[in-house]
Amino acid sequence: MSAPVRPAISYARLLETNQLIQACGDSTYWLCLTRTVQGSKLYPVSAYILLSYLNAFYRYPSLIRKVEAVMPAEAIADRARQMGVKAQNSSIGWALPCFYLLGREYLINLGFLRPQDALDDVITVMDFWKRFQLAWHRNDGHLTNADYNQRAQILPHAAVQRFAGELHPVVPGDALSVAAQRFLATVSQYGFLVSAESRISLTNSGPYRLDDDRQLLMRDFMDLGETSLPWLDDIAADMPYNNLTVAMAVTGCHFHLVDDWGSFEATPEFTPDRLTGIGLYTSDTLSEGHQPVGMDSPATLAAMLHDLSDRAKAATDRLWLRMAGWRRDQLIDAGALCYYAICKEIAHIAGVFDPADWLEIDPRAERFRPLLSDDYADQALGELVGSLTLPSQQTAPHGLMKWSDKPTRVLTPLPLSVLNGAPYLPRVAPPQKGGSHLPPKNDRYRTTRGVLSLAAYNEAARAFVPAACQPAANFRCETTLAYPGALA
């Protein structure tokens, strides 16, 4: 597939890009205000987040162009919908555009950019994001979960029917219930550690209505194995799956919120006794959709969940001891690279993953490291995404920002005066040779086809088109299926 021709800069293009930027800003503010306050005695979290934003700003546009030279955004999203890999929320739905735009905003405040600089890059990132999101959300017809009143009905009806039909019933207190609760907690704990004190190794989507009293929530755990995060080399060698998807039927509560970070809220609270059905699957770039894991019977599934919990717990202890021995620069690199590479799956899907692209800090970002004390980073990040008190975030005094009612904004729009000939830098330079304080990634990539070298993994990804993504199948959409006499 060839990359789509990107439209030239026009009034309409700038208006659309600015709308997308504003939507990202509104979403960022709401998510940061209501969803979380993070802190860690182990990880310098704010410092690594700011470094990741800078790395994203300098590198994402070039890497997106590299990916799209092989596969367009909408085709990547179609692939992603067939599997539980890390190409959904929060990775693409929020982080890809917002990490990039927050890096831009930060640099505007440091005097490194004008709002119109890197204009072509901004359009590239936002256009990619829009097309990905449209395809990813094609079954619910929204651009983001926020647009859909905080829900994500990504799956087509047939997939929901399949997952619902394969669920094993869970009775509170029975063997499968105990195993499921232990698995969900243990692997969540492991995921937070894998992703350096972030939630980006797990996400939730849905809910899907099963009947008046039951809903289906899909939870994905990602980057569990010895695949593309170098700090899992050896540590996670015996994790048999890199991605796991858990289908959960929940009775007696309504998931009123599944946000663009993949977090959920339910009314009443989703407690373990409300889990009444469960299924377990794995998938990746090379699989024909979701493959059942331990699903032969409730007993085999319970045994599988305990086995995976044991492995995740052992890996947690090993990984924690490794991380507890790291220097600050190593902790910052792990966090920054984990954040920055949150959307690396697009390169895996396209078969162009390269550790030099995704696992290095660009020198243009690296130079800022000496500034990133805990104190400064905590306060600067707080102003950037919380209090919105950086100079670029102030607007005319009549302003009433969505959610805050203050004359502020998170992200600066593109200035329309470029259409009158105002000068601008179209693009920043391509990625420069970077580095990391961590050991390099080994050449072992855990996939559904076994452990592959990177070359073999990329080659297999480029050669593979899942049956569901063959054009005839891919375009048999929900509307087509609803009118078999007219369209099928």
Partner 1 sequence: MSLLPTDNGLWGGEPDSPLVAAVHLSVRDLVRRRLAESGLDWEAFVAGPIDRCITAPDLAAIDAAILATGHRYAFSATISAVERPEAYQGLAALDGGFAHPDAPTAPPDAEGKSLCGAGDNVVQAAADIEGIARYVRSAAQVIALMESGVPAGSIAIIDDSGGTLTAPILDRFAGLVCAGGTVRSHLGILAREHGIACLMNVRLAGVQDGDRIRLETSAAARTAESYLTGTDMPARIWKLP
What would the x/- binding string for partner 1 be over residues 323 to 342, using CB under 8 A? Answer: xx-xxx--x-----------
Cα distances (Å, whole numbers) of residue 122 to 17, 129, 164, 344, 366:
8, 11, 41, 19, 21
At CA 165, angle to CA 163 and CA 170, rounded to 5?
A: 90
What are the tokens at 351?
Answer: 């078969």
CA distance 85 to 79: 9
What secondary structure, in 3-state letters, does 300-318 show?
Answer: HHHHHHHHHHHHHHHHHHH
What would the x/- binding string for partner 1 be over residues 242 to 281, using CB under 8 A? Answer: ---------------x-----x-x---x-xx---------
Does 398 engage in binding with partner 1 (CB under 8 A)? Answer: no
Give the DSSP H/E element, type plus range, for residue 206.
strand 202-211
Does 104 engage in binding with partner 1 (CB under 8 A)? Answer: no
Burial class of residue 190 in the structure, from the number of CB atoms within 10 Å of its CB (0-12 exposed, 13-18 middle, 19+ buried): buried
Task: Give the residue from 280, 295, 306 showing the smallest Cα distance to 182.
Answer: 306
Tell me which stretch binds partner 1 (CB under 8 A): 76-84, 154-162, 177-185, 472-480.
Answer: 177-185
CA distance 10 to 17: 10
Which of 252, 407, 413, 435 is close enough to bind partner 1 by CB under 8 A? 407
Q: Which is nearer to partner 1, 42 or 455 (CB)?
A: 42
Which of 63, 96, 102, 113 is close enough to bind partner 1 by CB under 8 A? 113
Span 355-374, contacts to partner 1 by CB under 8 A: 363-364, 366-371, 373-374
DSSP 94: I
Q: From the CB of 448, what's the least distance to partner 1, in Å?
A: 26
CA distance 236 to 329: 22
Rama region for 234: left / alpha / beta (φ>0; ψ in -120 to 50; rest) = left
Does 392 engage in binding with partner 1 (CB under 8 A)? Answer: yes
Burial class of residue 91 in the structure, from the number of CB atoms within 10 Å of its CB (0-12 exposed, 13-18 middle, 19+ buried): buried
DSSP 152: B
Which of 175, 425, 456, 460 is close enough to bind partner 1 by CB under 8 A? 425
Q: From the CB of 110, what's the least distance to partner 1, in Å?
A: 5
How many residues touch partner 1 under the rule CB under 8 A: the total is: 85
Which of 3, 9, 33, 454 is close enough to bind partner 1 by CB under 8 A? 33
Does 39 engage in binding with partner 1 (CB under 8 A)? Answer: yes
Q: From the CB of 224, what's the least distance to partner 1, in Å?
A: 15
What would the x/- binding string for partner 1 be over residues 196 to 225, using CB under 8 A? Answer: xxxx--------------------------
Which of 82, 316, 436, 474 is close enough to bind partner 1 by CB under 8 A? 316
Q: Which is nearer to partner 1, 165 or 397 (CB)?
A: 397
Q: From the CB of 262, what's the least distance to partner 1, in Å?
A: 11
CA distance 374 to 356: 27
Tokens 């994905």, located at residue: 220
Q: Which is nearer to partner 1, 398 or 483 (CB)?
A: 398
Q: From the CB of 321, what's the least distance to partner 1, in Å?
A: 8
Q: Which is nearer to partner 1, 164 or 314 (CB)?
A: 314
Span 117-156, contacts to partner 1 by CB under 8 A: 117
Give first-to-last CA distance, the chain, whole Å: 25
Q: Which is nearer to partner 1, 119 or 461 (CB)?
A: 119
